[in-house]
Structure 1
Amino acid sequence: MSVMIEVRGVEKSFGHLKVINDCSFNVEKGSITGMIGPNGAGKSTIFNIIAGTFPLDRGEIILDGEAVTNLPANQLFDKGLLRTFQIAHEFGQMSAVENLMMVPAKQAGEQLFTTWFQPARVHQEEAAIRQKALQVIDYLGLGHIKNELAGNLSGGQKKLLELGRTMMTEAKVVLLDEVAAGVNRTLLKDLTDNILRMNRDLGVTFLVIEHDMDMIAKLCDPVIVLAQGSVMVEGSITDIQNNPKVIEAYFGSDAA
């Protein structure tokens, strides 16, 4: 397998507090890689650095062989890197299908000139985007709420809708941030199944931060353990769960 994301010697401080310390790891192309660690380990910070939200102080980020260090999120989006959030960010007063239609960049209807002088082009493109959005809705099993205002959806349905947004682009890699948070067990199974399907059917690479170890066990191989801002260990979920260093990091030396 080739490498989709390379994190090389990354460091990040906030004031005098060093949060990420010489952190290096790879995310292989086509993998579903998990990232776990105790609270304060730096998981969200390294996620935000990769996603272009935080600039790094030192180090390098490589995306599919291309240096993308400190590129902003919109440029990373154009290169195929997307992320979801622990708290879903939907357009509450728009329908589920309209939320998906908002995703594709550089739509003809965004240009005033095209709207005035090429309305047929705008309508044709919008129809094609709507058709794709409906296909994504059906793929995710959300057809029954396609016309419902997104603000009225349950937490799990909003997470599925966020996952659907990533399918509206030519995504290479998706960063999933606490996708299980606030989701009931039934919809969590739907989320997990759809992530596996996207990985298998569409070839999307995933990097997943998650506290739900059952979900990590079902989805992820390998799993990276972060502690004190750097990689402690990496391996299969079975190796991770039996590793004395991981047990100590989570539960203290008395549990090791």
Structure 2
Amino acid sequence: MTPIIDVCNIRKSFGGLTVIDDCSVRIAEGSITGMIGPNGAGKSTLFNIIAGSLAPDSGEVLLDGEPITSLPAHLRFHKGLLRTFQIAHEFSHLTALENLMMVPPAQEGERLFSNWLRPGRVRREEAEVRRRAQEVLDFIGLTRVRNEPAGNLSGGQKKLLELGRTMMTEARVVLLDEIAAGVNRTLLGDLIGNIERLNREMGYTFLVIEHDMDMIARLCDPVIVLAEGRVMLEGPIEEVQSHPEVIEAYFGAQSA
């Protein structure tokens, strides 16, 4: 399949310690790709390099064939590359609905000039953004908390809201960082279902970093295994789980 994200020969060191060592990864367009590995394997560092919050020492990141290595995270956002966080970053005093309405960039109401001279245009755009936000809340199953301050939501509801925020943009690739962390099993099922629907119905490509192996097994194909800053293996979860080196490097390390 055609790669939408191409990570080419990335290296990253911190204080003389090499965390990512000549690592190359290709994320196929339309896939839900999982990334696993033992603690210290370099997953979070590579994730942050792809997201644009960390610069590599060398190597290149391409989005749909276009180099984006030097682009900051907010410009990658405008190109459709988004991320969620292990700890949700909601606007706690705004309602769930308002959190979604904050996402679309360059809204007319953000311009003082437009509020003075184009109030009708501002109202129409705001009504459309509100309508879209309500549709997203319906999609992710949070309609009943639409007027609840986001800070009052449960951990799982906040993760759903973060996923909903990606739907308020022209998202193409969504990087999911430990989205299962702190989520009860019922809401985790909702999260997985929504990710699958976004992939199937809206064409989202996902890269998932996750320690919950049940979630990886249910959701991801292929799965990339990192160890010591390099790709050890890539393939279906059945192959990954049965590979002797992976059992030693990852599953053995987890049970030690």
TM-score normalised by length of structure 2: 0.97
Name the structure 1 match of 2:143: 143
Once the 2 structures are TM-superposed, how far is the Cα of residue 250 of structure 1 from its aligned partner? 2.0
Q: Aligned letter for 1:10? A: I
Deviations 1:148-180 (A, max 9, x none): 000000000000000000000010000000000
Supply the AA of the counterpart residue of 1:199. Answer: N
Inter-partner Cα distance in structure 1 for 2:168 and 2:224: 28
Structure 1 counterpart of 2:39: 39
Q: Name the structure 2 match of 1:190.
A: 190
Cα pair distance change 1:251/1:240, threshold 3 Å: closer
The whole-number CA distance in structure 2 between the counterparts of 1:119 and 1:65 is: 41
Deviation at 1:251, TM superposition (A): 4.7
- Contact 1:49 1:70 (8 Å CA) reproduced: no
CA contact (8 A) 1:132 1:168 kept: yes
- Identical positions, percent: 67
Residue 252 of structure 1, CA deviation:
4.7
1:233 aligns with 2:233: yes
CA distance in 2, matches of 1:76, 1:35: 21
User: For residue 3 of structure 1, what is the aligned residue in structure 2?
Assistant: 3
Kindly report the root-mean-square deviation, in angstroms, between the aligned alpha carbons of the 2 structures.
1.1
**1:69-88 CA deviation, whole Å, 9 max, x = no partner?**
13100000000000000000
Residue type of the alignment partner of 1:113: F
Matches for 1:55-204 after TM superposition, within 5 Å: 55-204=55-204
Gaps of 5+ in 2: none
Q: Distance in 2 between matches of 1:10 and 1:70?
A: 13
CA contact 1:35–1:225 (8 Å) conserved in 2 = yes
**What secondary structure does 1:130 align onto?**
helix
Does the residue aligned with 2:59 lie in a helix, a strand or coil? strand
Match of 1:244 in 2: 244
Q: Distance in 1 between matches of 2:242 and 2:79?
A: 38
SS in 2 for 1:85: coil
Letter in 1 for 2:73: A
Q: CA offset at residue 15 of structure 1?
A: 1.7
One-letter identity of the residue aligned with 1:149:
P
- TM-score when scaled to structure 1? 0.97
Quick one: distance in 2 between partners of 1:251 and 1:167?
34
Deviations 1:2-28, CA, capped at 9 Å, x for gaps: 111000000011121111100001000
Give the AA of the match of 1:44: S
Counterpart amino acid of residue 93 in structure 2: Q
Q: Deviations over 1:193-251 (max 9, x none)?
A: 00000000000000000000110011100000001111011000000000011011025
Unmatched 5+ residue regions in structure 1? none
Q: 1:154 to 1:249 in 2, by over 3 A?
A: same
Report the 3-state secondary structure (helix = DSSP H, G, I; strand = E; otherwise coil) of the residue aligned with 2:35: strand
Indicate if the aligned counterparts of 1:56 and 1:70 stay in contact, CA closer than 8 A: no
Instruction: Give the residue type in structure 2 aligned to 1:81.
Output: L
What's the CA shift for 1:116?
A: 1.3
Pairing 1:210-229 to 2, within 5 Å after superposition: 210-229=210-229
- State the Cα distance separating 1:97 from its structure 2 match: 0.5
Answer with 178-187 or 10-19: which moved more. Answer: 10-19
* Structure 1 contact 3–27 (Cα < 8 Å) conserved: yes
In 2: Cα distance, 1:36 partner to 1:108 partner: 42
Which residue pairs with 2:21 in the alignment? Answer: 21
